[in-house]
Amino acid sequence: MSLLSCCNLSELAPDYIRSIAPYQGGKPISELAREMGLNEADIVKLASNENPLGMSPKAQMAVEKAIGEIARYPDGNSFALRDLVAKKFNVEHSQIVFGNGSNDILELAARAFLHAGCEAIYSQHAFAVYPLVTQAVGATGVVVPASNYAHDLEGFLKVITPKTRLIFIANPNNPTGTLIAKDGLKTFLKQVPANVLVVLDEAYDEYLSAEHKSEAINWLSEFDNLIISRTFSKAYGLAGLRIGFGLMHTDVADMFNRVRQPFNVNSIAQAAAVASLADDDFVARSYALNQAGMVQLIQGFNKLELEYIPSSANFVSFKVKNALSVNQQLLQNGVIVRPIANYEMPDYLRVSIGLFNENARFLTVLEQILKSNNQ
Ligand SMILES: *Cc1c(COP(=O)(O)O)cnc(C)c1O
């Protein structure tokens, strides 16, 4: 028996941990099926920006092959994958850090460079993981008000102080889908002090047209304080395997590696990522499907006279009266989208672009709901 009979064990955690609002993910299909008594096969999930094509067939073959080696620890340096990424992006092996999802990269940035008393800057309506990783290490988050749902980079510059260590930027941003133009971004980087690290989260870069694709990897030689984060969870369709990577200056990568778990990326994920990088055709098909689905959804929103935020990614946030209730009605009809009130967007829902039939089902159900609500 303990000497000190304590109250509530949660009070043992520091205040900065207790004040964290946990991450709310998209509702799993199995959970909705349980809750509503629906068949899993009848549910359409458009809530987590996953690739509706699944993974590359080459990745699937690699996964099946890699299962035989599960009893062994993974390669803690992900050598085969590292070599491929280095060649594809023209960086040194020592500039790459692999993560258990790119979330891991964001967290490693916070753990390596933030501590109580210093500050990290991010935008209002930006990806929810930035405040989470900042708070988890006891640092202070500084939120820059968005400008028409987009990042206001001028505003970022104004709040940089001697306490600023990190800046998080999502480009395109989730959940707004907004994109920062390349020249504006480069001008911004030139104005950020050299002792402030900038994490550029490019989770959706594969969904950008050739003209808009990021060139930031070419800027790494110019900006030692730049960290680029990429993921295999979105266009590559490996969300369930958890793998992403960061590209950065060797000295920064060295610090990441000191706080990284030795085997943070599992062997199946490494094998699938290697195979995925060799399947440009799959990424091209995913991009094309997304382009067509975007047109389909936008036409649907226009027909329903709904406001939406033009998006450069594989999802769109749209405005409805009484978003919580519309979300509930969508769920009752087996359609999962994402309410984003926790992003300070209580009037919006975010829908991921799915297969043609999934998008059509979403639009049909949404139309019925809006009609019945207006009666
Ligand atoms: C989905 C997403 C990620 C990817 O997370 P993983 O951990 O790689 O699955 C990263 N950043 C943003 C902005 C995202 O929306």
pLDDT tens track for 235-256: 999 999 999 999 999 999 999 9
Q: Are residues 209 and 332 in the same domain?
A: no
Nearest CA-CA partner of 154 in 125, 181, 184, 134:
184
Per-residue pLDDT for 350 more than 60?
yes
The Cα 132–Cα 17 span in angstroms is 9
Tell me which of 278, 293, 323 is where a domain ends. Answer: 278
Q: How far is the CA of 173 from the centre of ligand 1 (A)?
A: 10
- Where are the strands (E) in 1-118, listed by range? 44-45, 96-99
Task: State the chain's mean pLDDT as an integer.
Answer: 96
Rounded to the nearest whole angstrom, what is the distance from the C-alpha of residue 232 to the centroid of ligand 1?
9
Is 334 inside a domain boundary?
yes
Whole-number Å distance, alpha carbon 174 to ligand 1 midpoint, is 8
Strands (DSSP E) found in the chain: 44-45, 96-99, 119-123, 140-144, 164-170, 197-201, 226-231, 244-247, 308-309, 315-319, 335-336, 338-339, 348-352
Provide the token pair at 217: 């990897």
By the 8 A CB rule, do 352 and 48 touch? Answer: yes
3-state SS assignment for residue 236: coil
Last residue of a domain, one of 212, 244, 278: 278
Q: Is the domain of 215 the same as that of 311?
A: no
Would you give the distance in Å from CA 369 to the centre of its chain? 29
Same domain, 240 and 97: yes
The answer, yes or no, to whether residue 2 has pLDDT greater than 90, is no
Q: Which of 12-26, 136-150, 172-186, 284-298 has the lowest mean pLDDT?
A: 12-26
Domain assignment present for 2: no
CA-closest candidate to residue 170, choices 227, 255, 96, 89: 227
Higher pLDDT: 239 or 2? It is: 239
Say yes or no: 309 and 353 in one domain.
yes
Report CA(234)–ligand 1 centroid distance (Å): 8
Judge whether 269 lies within some domain: yes
**Which pLDDT does position 128 carry in this prediction?**
95
Q: Of the residues 174, 178, 208, which should be mutated to test ligand 1's pocket, given the most ligand atoms within 8 Å of the CB?
A: 174
Q: Which of 278, 301, 326 is the last residue of a domain?
A: 278
Ligand 1 pocket by Cβ (under 6 Å): 49, 101-103, 127, 170, 174, 201, 203, 231, 233-234, 239, 244
Residue 236, domain CATH? 3.40.640.10
Among the atoms of ligand 1, which is closest to the Cα of residue 127? 13
Are residues 319 and 223 located together in one domain of the fold? Answer: no
Average pLDDT over residues 121-129: 97
CATH number of the domain that residue 340 is part of: 3.90.1150.10
State residue 110 phi and psi, 5-degree precision.
-65, -45
Query: How many Cα neighbours within 13 Å face the side chain of 220?
Result: 22
Q: Is the pLDDT of residue 9 over 60?
A: yes
| Nearest CA residue ID for atom 3, ligand 1 | 203
Tokens representing 358 are 């999934």
Same domain, 298 and 159: no
Q: How far is the CA of 216 from the centre of ligand 1 (A)?
A: 18
What's the pTM value of the predicted model, to 2 decimals? 0.96
Of all residues in the chain, the percent with pLDDT exceeding 90 is 96
Q: Are 249 and 307 contained in the same domain?
A: no
- CA–CA separation, 218 and 213 (whole Å): 12
Domain count, the chain: 2
Shortest-distance atom of ligand 1 to CA 170: 13
CA of 181 to the centre of ligand 1 (A): 20
Q: Is residue 66 part of a domain?
A: yes
In the chain, the amino acid numbered 36 is M
What pLDDT shows up at residue 22? 84
Predicted confidence (pLDDT) at residue 262 exceeds the cutoff of 90: yes
Examine the domain organization and report whether 68 and 46 are in the same domain.
no
Under the banding of pLDDT at 50, 70 and 90, the label for residue 23 is confident
Residue reference for tokens 């680029």:
228
Is residue 1, in this structure, part of any structural domain at all? no
The predicted model gives 157-180 an average pLDDT of: 98
Same domain, yes or no, for 92 and 235?
A: yes
In a domain? residue 106:
yes
Domain co-membership, 224 together with 140: yes
- CA distances to 40, 141, 310 from 46, in Å: 14, 30, 17
Domain that holds residue 345: 25-54+281-372
**Do 268 and 143 reside in the same domain of the chain?**
yes
Task: Report DSSP letters for 105-119, one per residue.
Answer: HHHHHHHHH--TT-E
Rounded distance from Cα 103 to ligand 1 centre (Å)? 6
Q: Token digits for 202? A: 């490019």
pLDDT the model gives residue 5:
65
Identify the pLDDT of residue 109. Answer: 98
CA–CA separation, 56 vs 273, rounded Å? 10
Among residues 70, 42, 91, which one has the least CA distance to residue 250? 91
How many residues does this entry show for the chain?
375
Is 7's pLDDT higher than 80?
A: no
Identify the residue whose C-alpha is closest to ligand 1 atom 14.
Answer: 203
Q: Is residue 340 part of a domain?
A: yes
**Same-domain check for residues 67 and 149:** yes
Token pair 């405005």 is found at 319
Ligand 1 atom index nearest CA of 104: 7
7 occurs within a structural domain: no
Whether pLDDT at 318 is above 80: yes
Instruction: Please report the pLDDT score of residue 119 as a whole number.
Output: 98
- Between 6-20, 52-66, 305-319, the lowest mean confidence (pLDDT) is in 6-20
pLDDT tens digit sequence for 86-95: 999 999 999 9
Q: Residue 375 pLDDT > 90, yes or no?
A: no
Q: Whose CA is nearest to atom 2 of ligand 1?
A: 203
Whether residue 1 has pLDDT greater than 90:
no
Judged against a pLDDT cut of 90, whether residue 18 lies above it is answered with: yes
